[in-house]
Structure formats: C-alpha cells, structure tokens
Amino acid sequence: MTPFNINKIRSEFPILSEKAYGKPLVYFDNAASSQKPKVVIDALVDYYSSYNANIHRGVHFLSQKASAAFDAVREKVKTFINATSEREIIFVRGTTEAINLVASTYGRKNIGQGDEILISAMEHHSNIVPWQMLCEEKGAVLKVIPMNEKGELMMNELPALLTEKTKFVSVVHISNSLGTINPVKEIIRQAHAKGIPVLVDGAQSTAHEIIDVQDLDADFFTFSGHKILGPTGVGCLYGKLHLLEAMPPYHGGGEMISSVSFEKTTYNEVPFKFEAGTPNIADVIALGTAIDYWNQLDRQAVSAWEKELLNYATKLISEIPAVRLIGTAENKASVISFVIEGVNALDAGMFLDTKGIAVRTGHHCTEPVMQFFKIPGTLRASFMFYNTKEEIDSLVENLTKAIALLQPHSVA
C-alpha cells in the first residue's frame, strides 16, 4: 500500500508511460537525474512560446513578465531550503558549478600555503577535484574523513582531523554511490566549534530530505535542479549572506557589475555579483515549478514510501546468492549499490536495459569509493517516490535471469 495515490503521481510524469525496446520503462537511475512532471515541461514550453525575453534589462511587456517569473523563483528556493534571505540564493548550472564557485572565490581568498581542506571518503568527483585544483594552486593540503566497511563516515576520527590548519570543510549530505546519509549537522557543529566554515553537497539530499539550511547551520549548501524534478542546466548555491558579501566575484561580465569604466569596475550586490551574463531564464522558471510540485506533495508520505522501497529492494536483492551490497549504512537513502560475483556490472546493466530497466553501472563519479571497496564499479538502482514495488520485482526477476546467463559456471 502506498501512503499516497501512486497512479495519479505516475500519470503526472509523461515519461513513466514510455516504453524502452517495447517494454514498459522501469526507471531506476534517479540518483543520476530525476524524471520531470508535466507541469515542469509545460513551464519550459510556456516560457519559450509565450514570454521569452531577456530579463532585468527590458522595459517591454515580455521582459517584465519574464523578470517577474524569474525573480519569484529566488523566493521559492529561499523557502524551500529555509534560507534567511533570498539574497543568499545564487543561480548556477548545478552542484558542480556551485562548488567550483566557492572554491574559486571563498577558497582563493581564504586558503593559503599549508592550510588544510577537509572532505570525506565518499565525495563525488565534483566535491574533490575543485578542492584539489585549489590545493595545487595554493600549496594547501586535502584531508579526508575516512569511512568504514559499511560506508559510514568514521566520526570518531573527525575531532583530530579538525586542526588549527583546517580552513574549510566540504562534505556530501547523501552519497550518490552508497546511499549513506551523513551526519552533516554534527560535522558542522564540530567544525563551527573550531571556527571552520562548512559546505554541504546537497545534490542527492535535496530530493529525499526536507532541507533546512538554518537548522543545519550550513555555511554553503548546493543542489542541482535536474535531480529534484527540475530541468538540467540549473541549480543553486546557498551561502550565508555575510560570507557571500565578503567573497570576490566569480565570472566577470554583464549583470554582475554596478558600474564599469576602463579605469575601474564596481560590482553589483549579492546575489547578482555571482550571476554574470544572461541567466538560464527558462530553466530557473521551470525549477520554480518543480519546487511548487514538491510543495504540494506530502513529503512525510513520500519519505516513508521511499524508505519502504529501499527496504523491499534491499531484502530481495541481498537474498540473491551472488550479490554483495556496497553501502550498508544504518542511515540510508533510497539508493542500492551492489556487485555480483562473477558478473561484470556493465554486462548485467546491459541485460537489464534490454528488459526496459534503467540502472546505472560504473564508479558513479566516486572513484575513491570504488578504490576503497577494491571494485571497479557497482550496479546501482536508485528510487524516487514515483517508483513501485512491482518495478522492483521486475528488477529482481531480471537480475536473476542476468546472473544465470552471465555467470561463468552457468554456461556449461
């Protein structure tokens, strides 16, 4: 039993009635990108077909309408993540750009030779590489909070890793490859006790948790629109206003300036200081529609259903003899990653694909996680509230077939 009308919800996502190779589509690649409800798709079409214009500069009707729709989204995001001011919301392309922005501005200004930046063992490449680039440039050192065999951060190591040299902490809220929900509030508490600011990578968590940046006390928080029912190419960086105000700009160009002469340029106020050029107007507006969609959902019921899907899939998949789960944290989101003894994850993924089942295989942009578990990659099924137990049954049935077909000893 679903705690809400799942058929109605599914009917709101056009793609869920599509077929792949003539078979009903089973979409289990939600951690890579979520599907979009029709209202979000319609918002894009509506913008381009009825009020497409550049914003903030035009005196004409279309520009004013587009500007109002665009500006309203900042307020929606503010409420969605409980920021204190809409000025704390910066529109970016996604989590990757948000982290690069912080590394290039806050990081370049505040991190120097011999300083330490602390990340965790389960970061996505986008929360590793920008910091490595900064370390290379500044002669700073990247430190890592280790994890255990279950894929949980070893919190007992944290106090010793937060030293007088630590100038920044950047951690993932929910791991995309393991599903672990990290105790970010506690990490922030400990870092703040030593005066160290913290960025939380919310790329996965924003789709599965109710985000409250004030309650977390995060200094920076990032998310991507495409993982929360919105379009690609848009995401948000939240930053505490006093930090954003003290940061130098990121990209130079129009919109981010207050005045320009050949002698001197002065910068616009936050958030515009960080939004050079024509923004992604259509996608920002459609992100606002995605947030409206979240707001009319019963988030508690959605969470309960995702938990039920996770428990159901975990039980069935772990019962398959050749399967080893990767990521068995106590506190997990609806992501299940596993390897199959004697079967290449890619081969199994391709077999499932022929049955219309979309899963992800590989390192999921978390190569250090794969190195830790000494595996080349996993097969990952990630669920969203619009998924069903019948779809999981289909995954399990076809996985069993894939193993029978692909395991070497079953060939004879």
Establish if 36 lies at the interface with ligand PMP (CB under 6 A): no
* Residue number with CB closer to ligand PMP (201 or 219): 201
Establish if 30 lies at the interface with ligand PMP (CB under 6 A): no
Alpha-carbon distance of 53 to 189, in angstroms, equals 44
Alpha-carbon distance of 45 to 106, in angstroms, equals 37
**Phi/psi at 198 (nearest 5 deg)?**
-130, 135
Q: Pick the piece of the chain touching ligand PMP (CB under 6 A) from 16-24, 54-62, 189-197, 198-206.
A: 198-206
Alpha-carbon distance of 209 to 204, in angstroms, equals 9
Whose CA is closest to 29, among 262, 274, 352, 248? 352
- Tokens read off for 132: 């490595």
Side-chain-side CA neighbours of 200 within 13 Å: the count stands at 30
- Out of 353, 365, 367, 376, pick the active-site residue: 365
Amino acid at 201: D
CB of 160 to ligand PMP, least distance (A): 25
- The count of chain residues that interact with ligand PMP, using the rule CB under 6 A, is 14
Alpha-carbon distance of 114 to 112, in angstroms, equals 6
**Which CA distances in Å does 106 have to 293, 341, 368?**
33, 45, 25
Establish if 203 lies at the interface with ligand PMP (CB under 6 A): yes
* Residue number with CB closer to ligand PMP (179 or 394): 179
CB of 122 to ligand PMP, least distance (A): 9
* Residue number with CB closer to ligand PMP (96 or 394): 96
Q: Specify the 3-state DSSP secondary structure of 405.
A: helix
Alpha-carbon distance of 199 to 102, in angstroms, equals 9
Q: Pick the piece of the chain touching ligand PMP (CB under 6 A) from 199-207, 297-305, 313-321, 343-351.
A: 199-207
Q: Can you tell me which of 37, 94, 107, 233 binds ligand PMP, judged by CB under 6 A? A: 94
Establish if 124 lies at the interface with ligand PMP (CB under 6 A): yes
First to last CA, the chain: 42
Q: Can you tell me which of 34, 126, 314, 388 binds ligand PMP, judged by CB under 6 A? A: 126
DSSP string, 51-107: ----SSS--SHHHHHHHHHHHHHHHHHHHHHT-S-GGGEEEESSHHHHHHHHIIIII
* Residue number with CB closer to ligand PMP (172 or 196): 172
Q: In the window 339-368, what residues touch ligand PMP (CB under 6 A)?
A: 365
Q: In the window 244-273, what residues touch ligand PMP (CB under 6 A)?
A: none
Establish if 172 lies at the interface with ligand PMP (CB under 6 A): yes
* Residue number with CB closer to ligand PMP (94 or 231): 94
Establish if 206 lies at the interface with ligand PMP (CB under 6 A): no
Establish if 96 lies at the interface with ligand PMP (CB under 6 A): yes
- Tokens read off for 173: 């809220």
- Tokens read off for 220: 């920076």
Amino acid at 149: E
Alpha-carbon distance of 219 to 196, in angstroms, equals 10
CB of 204 to ligand PMP, least distance (A): 5
- Tokens read off for 188: 């922030």
Establish if 120 lies at the interface with ligand PMP (CB under 6 A): no
Establish if 66 lies at the interface with ligand PMP (CB under 6 A): no
Name the maximum alpha-carbon separation found in the chain.
79
Establish if 201 lies at the interface with ligand PMP (CB under 6 A): yes
- Decide if 365 is catalytic: yes
Alpha-carbon distance of 314 to 333, in angstroms, equals 12
Q: Pick the piece of the chain touching ligand PMP (CB under 6 A) from 124-132, 256-264, 281-289, 340-348.
A: 124-132
- The residues with which 303 forms a beta bridge, in sequence order, are none
* Residue number with CB closer to ligand PMP (34 or 387): 34
Q: Can you tell me which of 34, 35, 67, 95 binds ligand PMP, judged by CB under 6 A? A: 95
* Residue number with CB closer to ligand PMP (76 or 364): 364
* Residue number with CB closer to ligand PMP (6 or 129): 129
Q: Which residues in this chain contact ligand PMP in the complex, by CB under 6 A?
A: 32, 94-96, 124, 126-127, 172, 176, 201, 203-204, 224, 365
- Report the catalytic residues: 365
